Amino acid sequence: MVVPVLILVAVLGAAPRAALSLELVAPAEECSFSDGKVVVIGMGTKSPTGQGKLKWEGGEVPLSARAGRFYGAATLSPGTHEATLTFGDETLELCWAVSPQVPAKQYEYHPGVTNLECKTCHDPEAPPPPSQDTGPLCYGCHTKYTARSAVHQPVTKGLCTACHDPHGSINPAFLRRSAVELCQTCHNRPIDKAHEKHKDDEPCTECHDPHGSSRAHNLRRR
């Protein structure tokens, strides 16, 4: 059990990053999966156009790009895979591990993505712009938070994707960042009596509900 974890960490730490216009929307460039069903979603500012490919030791799948966006599905065997995603002269280097035993950086997809049911949310070639009001879309399947008396402002505005990645994530609840970093993308921790004992590495959500609550300041309890 210990050996595969060490190998994964060593490989994940190694891959260098070049500045490219190719961008992976899902999954993460370095992550592991509990099974081998991988769907890549990406886009590019100048490329991609035309035919690209995702290649790894075990195989290759074509990816076609339209409107600057591409997606495709691959099935990877268990183990660690160094993969490349290529369009024209641009290449993204990826490192993926398929192993049910590796919990570190394990990527989970939101339902609808691995079975290519993109259209339950949007036309894959005409996705909505980031961090717009996705409330009506998400509330089509999820319980509304807006009935609470102290709704957190980004939730009121339907900015679900400011915090959640709609395609998947390595973090619980498909969060874009770890629970500790997430709130600090928009807030500093207040310096006052209520927060003086709070350590920087403890998530704000221990005390605050991220969506809102029936108590002032979105507190979970008083």
- Do 125 and 94 meet the contact criterion of CB atoms below 8 Å apart? no
- Minimum distance of ligand HEC from residue 162's CB (angstroms): 4
- Minimum distance of ligand HEC from residue 158's CB (angstroms): 5
Which residues contact residue 106 at a Cβ distance below 8 angstroms, ignoring those fewer than 6 apart?
A: 31, 32, 33, 34, 170
Quick one: 76 or 182, whose CB is closer to ligand HEC?
182
- Minimum distance of ligand HEC from residue 28's CB (angstroms): 14
Binding site for ligand HEC (CB under 6 A): 25, 39, 41, 43, 69, 71, 110-113, 116, 118, 120-122, 124, 127-128, 130-131, 134-135, 137-138, 140-142, 145, 150, 152-155, 158-164, 166-167, 173-175, 179, 182-187, 189-190, 192, 194-195, 198, 202, 204-208, 210-211, 217-219
Distance CA 43, CA 69 (A): 4
Residue in this structure with the two tokens 């036309």, named with its chain if needed: 123
- Minimum distance of ligand HEC from residue 159's CB (angstroms): 5
The sign one gets for the Cα dihedral 119, 123, 129, 130 is positive
Residue 72, number of CB atoms within 10 A of its CB: 18
